[in-house]
Homo-oligomer: A and B are copies of this chain.
Amino acid sequence: MVIIKKQDRILKKMRDFVIIAHKALTTGDFSLNDLPGSAGRMDILCRCINSCLFLSHDLRRDVQVHLLLLGDPEPGKIIRFDSEHVRYLNPDERSAGSLIKKALQKTAGEYEARSTPGVFIRSGNLGTLLNEFKDAGRRLIYLHEDGEDIRELSDLTNNAVFILGDHMGVTEEEEQLIKEHEAKTISLGPIPLHADHCIILINNEIDRNLSGRSQ
């Protein structure tokens, strides 16, 4: 078992996405044939993985995804996908679901355990992630329709950490915690969208900023 210490993980200056999944099962004991139902809307997380990592005929190499799983039976597990090292991932939901399932079959402790290349699991909650990013001087961004338009932020780069809710959104307690960590609230357009769709818009905005083609 490969154990990854906190420093190695956080000090990378990547594009990070945190997805809060309130119902996602925290055991690997689910069927890939029923990701929405028996696995607690695991389909949402699978699509988020796709949105975060895939390019046409390529994978992004500068993105990390942190899935925060808060469903039964052991709420509070964090699965991290590191795009620089991930393997065996195809764009379809079952492929991401299979890697999540393998991660959930590992014991989750304080330090990360690697389940497959580029995929890691540990125990933790939203506070764990927010504190780590804040301590590392990262820029926290909370996605919400009331926020400032993302197109106004021309300085968005790979240092930013984006926090998104699932189909249940973000609870009041979570929102308060996010704001206590001085996250900036931004919006992506006039209509509320699914988390995986939001991620596409964020990636495009950063791609444009990094290439100097923001407007």
Contacts and interface: CB of A to CB of B under 8 A. Distances in A.
Interface of A: 32-33, 35-36, 43-44, 47, 50-51, 54-57, 90-95, 149, 151, 167, 188-194, 197, 200-201, 204, 207-208, 210-211, 213, 215
A92 B35 contact: yes
B54 A213 contact: no
Query: Sorted from nearest, which 6 A-B pairs have the closest CB atoms?
Result: A190-B211, A56-B192, A43-B92, A200-B200, A93-B93, A189-B204
Contacts of A191: 55-56, 207, 211
Contact of A200 (B33, B57, B201): B201
B36 A92 contact: yes
B194 A208 contact: no
A215 to B, nearest CB: 6
Contact of A192 (B35, B55, B151): B55
Given A36-B92, A194-B54, A194-B91, A213 B200 contact: no
